[in-house]
Amino acid sequence: MLNKTVERAINEQIQAELYSAYLYLSMAAYSAAANLPGFAHWMKAQSQEETEHAMKFFNYVNERGGRVVLKPLDQPPLEFGSPVDLFKKVLEHEQLVTGLINDLYELAVKENDYATQVLLHWFIEEQVEEEANAAQIVETLKMAGDKGNALIMVDKGLAKRGA
């Protein structure tokens, strides 16, 4: 049986993961409107990944005999600035999610919920990867600039991301 305090916290994390998916979908729409199809592809793939993360938590709550309670999502921003500004926001968001995962892990430790700790190890490793990917793209965009051939090459590279 899932500890009720942990269950409530995981439900909040489901909301955060679904908001992340919604945010990245908004970033995809922004990128498509800016004629950056590779950026849009990358953001759509990221949105799908965040939905998968939410479902991983969703299924876990159900497997442990808990109750998933879906909460409303805020509207994400519509404008994100330059390509480098966009990916800085991606990095900032991933750092926020890392903090949420870390807080959830601390709660699982406090509540002696070992099964949730095991689940969260996967998410902790995932967040290391998420932050590293976003940071690398920010640095590449800083070198490429906001316009010209280098930006086109970055866009083409982002289009190659697997779904």
The pLDDT of 128-156, averaged and rounded, is: 93
Inside any domain, residue 163: no
Find the domain containing 106 and state its range.
4-158
3-state secondary structure of 103: helix
Residue range 57-98, pLDDT digits in tens: 999 999 999 999 999 999 999 999 999 999 999 999 999 999
**What pLDDT band is residue 148 in, cutting at 50, 70 and 90?**
confident
Inside any domain, residue 43: yes
Of 36-45, 98-107, 140-149, least confident by mean pLDDT is: 140-149
Residue range 7-24, pLDDT digits in tens: 999 999 999 999 999 999
Note whether 134 and 32 are within 8 A (CB). no
Residue range 32-53, pLDDT digits in tens: 999 999 999 999 999 999 999 9
Half-sphere exposure at residue 80, Cβ-oriented, CA atoms within 13 angstroms: 29
Inside any domain, residue 98: yes
**What pLDDT band is residue 161 in, cutting at 50, 70 and 90?**
confident
Strand residue runs (E) in the chain: none
Opening angle at CA 45, ends 13 and 55, nearest 5? 30
| Measured CA distances, 19 to 40, 53, 103, 123, 148 (Å) | 17, 11, 18, 16, 32
| CATH code, domain carrying 20 | 1.20.1260.10
Indicate if the pLDDT at residue 163 is higher than 70.
no
Inside any domain, residue 96: yes
Inside any domain, residue 88: yes
Give the Cα separation of 158 and 49 in Å (integer): 15
Number of domains in the chain: 1
